[in-house]
Structure 1
């Protein structure tokens, strides 16, 4: 059981007929009905007996009429109860079943499957090309990777049962079927993918104790105890009632907020505030890892020994609340080796915290620009670029629905013990419909990494992330931030300097001078990719899958001959200064250029910043409108 759930154990087994009416198997097991029509894109259902529950997240975006159950009249083979497999529960992304109030001990979990949608592979028709591939987790532990029902069963419409051992330690069991983006998506119709299950059963491997009887039986045996309870002095009862009223009154003020936060489904692991306070040493300053627009981040150690990073939402931050919801919803739905792992969250009244895996080497910007004496050699830098590209490619092209991160920058790329990159901070992420050319949205992100079409018009596509990735690549290559006021005017802005060197065939002068050895071919590929990714037109920027191929050397890097317009328009005479200060007109950057090239303006999350104020006289209100939700 995750922290936050409290169940009095009363059962030691249960069975569920997934997506259909109650059925009894040939072995005499009664499978309870799980045919709720209300289970949709982000919802849950709990049986009236509170023995089990089911939750689903995801939507079949390619289907005009999304469905979450499969019904078939096929005669399922290899089973004595074929009707048990004639209905199934489907999910486009994540399907979880929960056993509630179980007596602690060892259990056998049996999952029953039959592929009823695809044609048999032996038919060699286009419909037989369909593949359903998903992962199976029990109690949060991966049991089967890339599970294919028809492959495991030896064909379609054939029953297959998979048994697993599970240990219940806190009266709570979780069965998680997760689609990781593999298999097919459009056979025989659009939107046929994701996990599918016909039934499941959970049985104890021990003799249940007397205290495991249902509450009605237990209450009859404890009738004497109840009579004694009635005799408790009236004064004590009054005190308890008074305290209860005060508690529920206080809790009621936060019910709406908690419903908003927990209605995103599936419910993540939850921790109590007391647990996290103990884990972080009462949020000791010595455990503080950093602080951003969301709030401070602390290092902590959980009761099970895991070292975690605890991100704390600043109290009263309306912006932080929306980011909190987005981050839980997004990271809970995706899993990839180059994305940071979310362990869970804490929601207690106004206290909201996120619990992540702890990454020893912190953020990429600290490694590149900080003072932690972490030297990144060339192979490591190139590997970080490639790993970051893979993480973004998964978000853009493999996850369903597609996700635009919106804040790709060095401080949002964390490094694990092996210096492998993991993209973090999904507070600004947007889900993206394949059928839309772009999303028009309020501008959010960090100046210096914003794509022109997004910074100026709010037009958001995955190409906005591609632009930010290009800037990060140049920072990794050069070992400097995208703007540095301490440098001379020719080198102050990294993008402008990169293009000047490129036009003069001196691109390798970009390479960090602290690198004594580097691969020139890889460096030139990286520079070429970065210049492509930072083109003014999003149509010219390559998708991340092509970026990976170019970095890996599988395909040639496309030639970049056109200097972006936001750089060519940089020099002009800005007469506004002469009106403002009575002086002569001077050369100054344009408004659009300063938006794109100033580094991390009004961004408290970045500790290593040499922000350059725009020469344009912007009021604080105007600047806030331009930056939007930038952190």
Structure 2
């Protein structure tokens, strides 16, 4: 059981937004009237919060989706309120001036757009420098272009990626953040609806952790090689390399691509998997735009505003949601679904009513039978004095829990958990209910989430999360947790 503790498994609280249509750039700030999105405000997190959210920066939670490579690492995490986050942790020598780091993070954190994976916070404690962004679950453009499994990305989706990326850059430029570092296919991410977003991490000014561009000189703007400085024109050059990626489905060096273009070998440049799925006019226009972006002289490249104008006129299937074009499964609720009540189990019904007495009776009746393997684990442990003390703490906690002495139960179960010898999801569940009895819903939610970390497929953990969220006034998330728990228990019963 102990070996499973570092595995981070999350209960997904789905928010069902309509897929974004092709918005005008003016609609993107603060979500726009069309997007109707409630943006989280930027905040400074405590290191302990981010440690908890990422399972102690567990290696199991390292993700490559956000395009970052060593020495900086990105972790998937989940905050206490259920939000999924991406946490970028810099190496120890990055950002030696903490004031500069905070200033940069706050500036980038002031941006809010449907076209960005927005920066929602940071952490600056001691030598630690961390950024917190919205988590994008559908991986990177590089994954979908270069390493696809079932079918290549559709032409209409490639055109949408190009437009959304240009709109993101135009929005950032309008807010005084025209410089973007190392723009490439790994920096373009996809949200749960399949919409492309530009990673906010590339908007941070360079620090000691590395250069503004990758070590592959073939893809580096020529003026950066001369001066080491990033300019708005450098960003447009990099945008041109992404256009090449979209057209070819491969990572082609700009010099080679320009040779093909000069030789009129357009067919060699275009992705053969898309043959017959786009018009020659569209292909020619995208080649023209890429060529303009890749001009050697920076002053000859277009600005991002003109790129948005050109790409808007190319859009195909603009009313088709991105998740459809991407072939991503997507949950939708019909009006009939909204009206159809869940068929709740007695436990689910007790959680819906927040009936702590009924929940206590159920947990007491079930006991520890859901603690997979813990009895065997106990029988093989060395019987040291510390082990005996740990077991006594659990027994005292169980006795207090049985008699509904919640304060004593919390203290005893805390001693058992802090002993660190054994891991029991049931103990977390019992302490969770004890916290609820003491009207401490936030601590209770933490325990319910930890129970799920230890035992990812345990419906009880999700049921308890639901009642905690009800207590915290998070009605929609609570209803979703209750639904997830009910479905999970139903599947287990069928098996």
What TM-score comes out, normalization by structure 1 length? 0.39
Compare the two structures and name the one with the higher helix fraction: 2
Larger strand proportion of the pair: 1
Of structures 1 and 2, the larger Rg is shown by 1
The structure with higher relative contact order (CA 8 Å, sep 6+) is 2
TM-score (norm 2): 0.49
